[in-house]
Amino acid sequence: MVFDVSTDSRNEVQSDWGSMEQRMAQRLRRIFGHSLNIRHIDVGSCNACESEVLSLSNPYYNFHRLGLFFTASPRHADVLLVTGAMTHAMEDVLLTTYTAMPQPRLVVATGVCAIHGGLFRESPEFAGPVDTTIPVDAYIPGCPPTPYAIINGILQAVDRRKGKKPC
Amino acid sequence: MLADWLRSGLSSRRVTTTYPYGKEANPIHRNWRTVPVIVSACKSTMPCRCGDFCPTQAITCPDGFAVQIDVGSCIGCGRCVNLCPQVFAWSGDVTVAASGRRRLISVADGGEMARGI
Protein backbone atom coordinates (compact mmCIF):
# COMPACT_ATOMS: atom_id res chain seq x y z
CA MET A 1 0.00 0.00 0.00
CA VAL A 2 1.36 3.41 -1.01
CA PHE A 3 1.14 6.08 1.66
CA ASP A 4 -0.43 9.19 0.14
CA VAL A 5 0.74 12.32 1.91
CA SER A 6 -1.84 14.62 0.33
CA THR A 7 -4.78 12.81 1.90
CA ASP A 8 -3.35 13.15 5.39
CA SER A 9 -5.12 16.09 6.98
CA ARG A 10 -2.45 16.40 9.64
CA ASN A 11 0.15 17.27 7.05
CA GLU A 12 -1.98 20.11 5.74
CA VAL A 13 -2.15 21.63 9.20
CA GLN A 14 1.57 21.24 9.70
CA SER A 15 2.75 22.27 6.26
CA ASP A 16 3.28 25.91 7.28
CA TRP A 17 5.44 25.06 10.28
CA GLY A 18 7.16 22.35 8.30
CA SER A 19 8.21 24.76 5.57
CA MET A 20 9.54 27.27 8.09
CA GLU A 21 11.55 24.58 9.80
CA GLN A 22 12.93 23.45 6.46
CA ARG A 23 13.97 27.03 5.73
CA MET A 24 15.85 27.10 9.03
CA ALA A 25 17.60 23.87 8.10
CA GLN A 26 18.53 25.40 4.73
CA ARG A 27 19.87 28.50 6.47
CA LEU A 28 22.12 26.37 8.65
CA ARG A 29 23.35 24.56 5.55
CA ARG A 30 24.17 27.88 3.89
CA ILE A 31 26.23 29.05 6.88
CA PHE A 32 28.01 25.79 7.59
CA GLY A 33 27.74 23.87 4.32
CA HIS A 34 25.75 21.12 6.03
CA SER A 35 23.47 20.52 9.00
CA LEU A 36 24.73 21.70 12.35
CA ASN A 37 26.42 18.96 14.34
CA ILE A 38 26.70 19.36 18.08
CA ARG A 39 29.23 17.76 20.38
CA HIS A 40 28.17 17.82 24.01
CA ILE A 41 30.88 17.80 26.69
CA ASP A 42 30.28 17.51 30.42
CA VAL A 43 33.07 19.22 32.38
CA GLY A 44 31.71 18.55 35.86
CA SER A 45 27.95 18.75 35.75
CA CYS A 46 25.38 17.46 38.24
CA ASN A 47 23.50 15.85 35.28
CA ALA A 48 20.51 18.19 35.45
CA CYS A 49 21.73 19.99 32.32
CA GLU A 50 22.35 16.60 30.67
CA SER A 51 18.74 15.69 31.30
CA GLU A 52 17.62 18.85 29.49
CA VAL A 53 20.13 18.45 26.66
CA LEU A 54 19.03 14.87 26.06
CA SER A 55 15.39 15.93 25.86
CA LEU A 56 16.28 18.07 22.82
CA SER A 57 16.13 14.96 20.67
CA ASN A 58 12.91 13.53 22.11
CA PRO A 59 9.68 13.62 20.06
CA TYR A 60 8.41 16.79 21.76
CA TYR A 61 11.38 19.12 21.22
CA ASN A 62 12.72 17.18 18.22
CA PHE A 63 15.54 19.54 17.30
CA HIS A 64 16.35 17.47 14.23
CA ARG A 65 13.49 19.30 12.48
CA LEU A 66 15.72 22.42 12.53
CA GLY A 67 18.74 20.61 11.09
CA LEU A 68 20.55 20.18 14.41
CA PHE A 69 22.14 16.83 15.27
CA PHE A 70 24.31 15.33 17.95
CA THR A 71 27.59 13.85 16.88
CA ALA A 72 29.87 11.46 18.71
CA SER A 73 33.18 13.07 17.85
CA PRO A 74 34.46 16.65 18.14
CA ARG A 75 36.14 16.10 14.74
CA HIS A 76 32.68 16.10 13.15
CA ALA A 77 31.22 18.90 15.24
CA ASP A 78 30.42 22.55 14.56
CA VAL A 79 29.13 23.42 18.01
CA LEU A 80 30.62 22.49 21.36
CA LEU A 81 27.87 22.40 23.98
CA VAL A 82 29.57 22.71 27.38
CA THR A 83 27.72 21.86 30.58
CA GLY A 84 28.84 21.83 34.18
CA ALA A 85 31.25 23.57 36.53
CA MET A 86 34.70 23.06 35.05
CA THR A 87 36.96 20.99 37.28
CA HIS A 88 40.76 21.06 37.16
CA ALA A 89 40.79 17.56 35.69
CA MET A 90 38.55 18.56 32.78
CA GLU A 91 40.28 21.83 31.90
CA ASP A 92 42.85 20.21 29.60
CA VAL A 93 40.22 17.85 28.18
CA LEU A 94 38.02 20.80 27.24
CA LEU A 95 40.92 22.57 25.56
CA THR A 96 41.88 19.40 23.66
CA THR A 97 38.29 18.92 22.52
CA TYR A 98 38.12 22.51 21.34
CA THR A 99 41.35 22.28 19.36
CA ALA A 100 40.22 18.98 17.80
CA MET A 101 37.19 20.66 16.27
CA PRO A 102 37.37 21.87 12.67
CA GLN A 103 36.94 25.56 12.00
CA PRO A 104 34.61 27.44 12.06
CA ARG A 105 33.59 26.29 15.49
CA LEU A 106 31.12 27.63 18.01
CA VAL A 107 31.02 27.19 21.77
CA VAL A 108 27.78 27.38 23.76
CA ALA A 109 28.06 27.53 27.55
CA THR A 110 24.95 25.84 28.93
CA GLY A 111 23.76 26.38 32.47
CA VAL A 112 24.83 28.58 35.33
CA CYS A 113 27.72 26.27 36.27
CA ALA A 114 29.41 26.68 32.89
CA ILE A 115 28.82 30.45 32.86
CA HIS A 116 29.67 31.32 36.44
CA GLY A 117 30.20 28.25 38.62
CA GLY A 118 26.89 28.48 40.45
CA LEU A 119 26.86 26.70 43.77
CA PHE A 120 30.26 25.15 43.06
CA ARG A 121 32.09 28.44 42.60
CA GLU A 122 33.66 28.31 46.07
CA SER A 123 34.77 24.70 45.68
CA PRO A 124 38.56 24.10 45.53
CA GLU A 125 37.97 21.75 42.57
CA PHE A 126 36.34 24.47 40.49
CA ALA A 127 38.75 25.68 37.80
CA GLY A 128 36.77 28.71 36.57
CA PRO A 129 34.02 29.60 34.13
CA VAL A 130 34.25 28.09 30.66
CA ASP A 131 35.00 31.45 29.03
CA THR A 132 38.29 31.67 30.95
CA THR A 133 39.57 28.67 28.97
CA ILE A 134 37.94 28.89 25.52
CA PRO A 135 36.00 31.66 23.75
CA VAL A 136 32.22 31.34 24.18
CA ASP A 137 29.70 32.43 21.51
CA ALA A 138 26.45 32.07 23.44
CA TYR A 139 25.57 31.88 27.12
CA ILE A 140 22.44 30.02 28.21
CA PRO A 141 21.47 30.83 31.82
CA GLY A 142 19.25 28.60 33.91
CA CYS A 143 19.72 25.91 36.49
CA PRO A 144 19.09 23.84 34.44
CA PRO A 145 18.15 25.77 31.28
CA THR A 146 14.98 24.62 29.57
CA PRO A 147 15.30 22.82 26.20
CA TYR A 148 13.65 25.86 24.60
CA ALA A 149 16.43 28.03 25.98
CA ILE A 150 19.09 25.62 24.70
CA ILE A 151 17.60 25.71 21.17
CA ASN A 152 17.45 29.49 21.44
CA GLY A 153 21.09 29.70 22.50
CA ILE A 154 22.35 27.43 19.72
CA LEU A 155 20.44 29.39 17.05
CA GLN A 156 21.74 32.62 18.53
CA ALA A 157 25.33 31.40 18.30
CA VAL A 158 24.71 30.47 14.64
CA ASP A 159 23.23 33.91 13.95
CA ARG A 160 26.31 35.51 15.43
CA ARG A 161 28.52 33.35 13.23
CA LYS A 162 26.71 34.31 10.02
CA GLY A 163 28.81 36.24 7.52
CA LYS A 164 32.08 36.03 9.43
CA LYS A 165 35.40 34.67 8.28
CA PRO A 166 36.59 31.34 9.72
CA CYS A 167 38.01 31.95 13.18
CA MET B 1 -2.68 19.73 35.35
CA LEU B 2 -1.65 16.52 33.65
CA ALA B 3 -5.19 16.00 32.36
CA ASP B 4 -5.15 19.50 30.82
CA TRP B 5 -1.86 18.79 29.20
CA LEU B 6 -3.05 15.49 27.77
CA ARG B 7 -6.26 17.08 26.48
CA SER B 8 -4.48 19.97 24.79
CA GLY B 9 -1.81 17.65 23.43
CA LEU B 10 -4.31 15.26 21.94
CA SER B 11 -6.50 18.03 20.52
CA SER B 12 -3.67 20.07 18.99
CA ARG B 13 -2.81 17.16 16.67
CA ARG B 14 0.83 17.99 16.78
CA VAL B 15 3.06 16.49 19.44
CA THR B 16 6.24 18.31 18.51
CA THR B 17 6.68 21.89 19.60
CA THR B 18 6.77 24.60 16.95
CA TYR B 19 9.39 26.64 18.78
CA PRO B 20 10.96 28.99 17.66
CA TYR B 21 8.18 29.64 15.11
CA GLY B 22 4.85 31.21 15.96
CA LYS B 23 2.24 30.24 18.43
CA GLU B 24 2.82 27.25 20.61
CA ALA B 25 0.23 24.49 20.45
CA ASN B 26 0.77 23.79 24.15
CA PRO B 27 1.88 27.08 25.75
CA ILE B 28 2.75 25.21 28.91
CA HIS B 29 6.03 27.02 29.43
CA ARG B 30 4.28 30.28 30.32
CA ASN B 31 3.93 28.94 33.85
CA TRP B 32 7.52 27.83 34.12
CA ARG B 33 9.87 29.47 36.55
CA THR B 34 12.86 30.03 34.33
CA VAL B 35 14.54 33.14 35.72
CA PRO B 36 13.57 35.86 38.21
CA VAL B 37 13.26 39.36 36.80
CA ILE B 38 13.11 42.78 38.43
CA VAL B 39 9.58 44.08 37.97
CA SER B 40 9.97 47.43 39.72
CA ALA B 41 12.79 49.50 41.14
CA CYS B 42 13.69 48.95 44.78
CA LYS B 43 11.81 51.49 46.92
CA SER B 44 13.97 50.94 49.96
CA THR B 45 15.23 54.19 51.51
CA MET B 46 18.22 52.56 53.12
CA PRO B 47 20.77 50.21 51.63
CA CYS B 48 19.11 46.81 51.80
CA ARG B 49 20.78 43.45 52.17
CA CYS B 50 19.03 41.60 49.37
CA GLY B 51 22.37 40.35 48.09
CA ASP B 52 22.96 38.48 51.34
CA PHE B 53 20.13 36.00 50.95
CA CYS B 54 21.11 35.14 47.37
CA PRO B 55 23.19 31.94 47.62
CA THR B 56 25.33 32.75 44.58
CA GLN B 57 25.41 36.57 45.00
CA ALA B 58 23.55 37.03 41.73
CA ILE B 59 21.73 40.05 43.18
CA THR B 60 23.88 43.10 43.78
CA CYS B 61 23.36 46.77 44.52
CA PRO B 62 26.44 48.43 42.99
CA ASP B 63 25.78 51.95 44.24
CA GLY B 64 23.69 51.06 47.24
CA PHE B 65 20.16 51.26 45.81
CA ALA B 66 19.94 50.31 42.12
CA VAL B 67 19.40 46.57 42.40
CA GLN B 68 20.55 44.38 39.53
CA ILE B 69 20.39 40.67 38.95
CA ASP B 70 22.85 38.55 37.02
CA VAL B 71 20.87 35.63 35.60
CA GLY B 72 24.16 34.08 34.51
CA SER B 73 24.81 33.24 38.15
CA CYS B 74 21.20 32.77 39.33
CA ILE B 75 20.35 29.18 40.25
CA GLY B 76 16.61 29.92 40.50
CA CYS B 77 16.19 29.12 44.19
CA GLY B 78 13.36 31.67 44.47
CA ARG B 79 14.38 33.27 47.78
CA CYS B 80 14.31 36.77 46.26
CA VAL B 81 10.76 36.25 44.94
CA ASN B 82 9.59 34.97 48.32
CA LEU B 83 11.28 37.67 50.40
CA CYS B 84 10.80 40.71 48.17
CA PRO B 85 7.83 40.06 45.84
CA GLN B 86 7.37 43.78 45.09
CA VAL B 87 10.76 43.89 43.34
CA PHE B 88 11.32 40.34 42.00
CA ALA B 89 8.99 38.06 40.07
CA TRP B 90 9.30 34.80 38.19
CA SER B 91 9.49 35.01 34.44
CA GLY B 92 8.36 32.28 32.06
CA ASP B 93 10.58 33.67 29.32
CA VAL B 94 12.60 31.01 27.53
CA THR B 95 14.56 33.31 25.20
CA VAL B 96 17.12 34.01 27.88
CA ALA B 97 20.30 33.13 25.99
CA ALA B 98 22.74 35.95 25.28
CA SER B 99 25.84 36.36 23.16
CA GLY B 100 27.78 38.26 25.80
CA ARG B 101 28.33 37.72 29.49
CA ARG B 102 27.31 41.27 30.39
CA ARG B 103 24.02 40.96 28.55
CA LEU B 104 22.86 38.51 31.18
CA ILE B 105 22.79 41.25 33.81
CA SER B 106 19.38 42.91 34.03
CA VAL B 107 18.62 46.08 35.93
CA ALA B 108 15.48 47.75 37.19
CA ASP B 109 14.92 50.34 34.48
CA GLY B 110 12.73 48.75 31.86
CA GLY B 111 12.85 45.46 33.69
CA GLU B 112 13.70 43.78 30.41
CA MET B 113 16.54 41.43 29.96
CA ALA B 114 19.00 42.16 27.19
CA ARG B 115 18.31 39.69 24.44
CA GLY B 116 20.28 38.91 21.34
CA ILE B 117 17.41 37.65 19.18
pLDDT at A112: 92
The confidence band for A1, taking pLDDT boundaries of 50, 70 and 90, is very low
Looking at chain A, the whole-number percentage of residues with pLDDT higher than 90 is 39
Cβ proximity of A139 and A88 under 8 Å? no
Cβ proximity of B53 and B61 under 8 Å? no
Does the beta carbon of B102 lie under 8 angstroms from any beta carbon of chain A? no
**Domain boundaries in chain B?**
28-115
Cβ proximity of B26 and B5 under 8 Å? yes
Does residue A78 or residue B48 have the better pLDDT?
A78
Shortest Cα–Cα distance, A50 to chain B (Å): 16
H or E stretch covering B110: none
Asked whether residue A2 is domain-assigned, the answer is: no
Does the beta carbon of B72 lie under 8 angstroms from any beta carbon of chain A? yes
- Please give the tally of structural domains in chain A: 1
Largest interatomic CA distance in chain B = 55
Report how many helices (DSSP H) and strands (DSSP E) chain A contains, helices first: 5, 5
pLDDT at B32: 82
Asked whether residue A39 is domain-assigned, the answer is: yes
Does the beta carbon of A165 lie under 8 angstroms from any beta carbon of chain B? no
Asked whether residue A115 is domain-assigned, the answer is: yes
CATH of the domain at A124: 3.40.50.12280
pLDDT at B24: 64
Q: Which CATH number fits domain B28-115: 1.10.1670.40, 3.30.470.20, 3.30.70.3270, 3.30.230.10?
A: 3.30.70.3270
CA-nearest residue to B57 within chain A is A118
Q: Which of A74-78, A163-167, B111-115 has the lowest mean pLDDT?
A: B111-115
The pTM (predicted TM-score) of the whole model is 0.81
Q: Across the interface, do A141 and B71 touch by the CB < 8 Å criterion? A: yes
For residue range A39-98, what is the model confidence (pLDDT) as tens digits? Answer: 999 999 999 999 999 999 888 888 888 888 899 999 999 899 999 999 999 999 999 999
pLDDT at A10: 45
Q: Across the interface, do B97 and A139 touch by the CB < 8 Å criterion? A: yes
Looking at chain B, the whole-number percentage of residues with pLDDT higher than 90 is 0
Domain span at residue A45 reads 7-159
**A vs B: CB pairs below 8 A:** 116
Residues of A in contact with B20 (CB under 8 A): 151-152, 155
Does the beta carbon of B46 lie under 8 angstroms from any beta carbon of chain A? no
Asked whether residue A1 is domain-assigned, the answer is: no
What is the distance in angstroms between the CA of the first residue and the CA of the last residue of chain B? 31
Report ipTM for this prediction. Answer: 0.79
The confidence band for B69, taking pLDDT boundaries of 50, 70 and 90, is confident
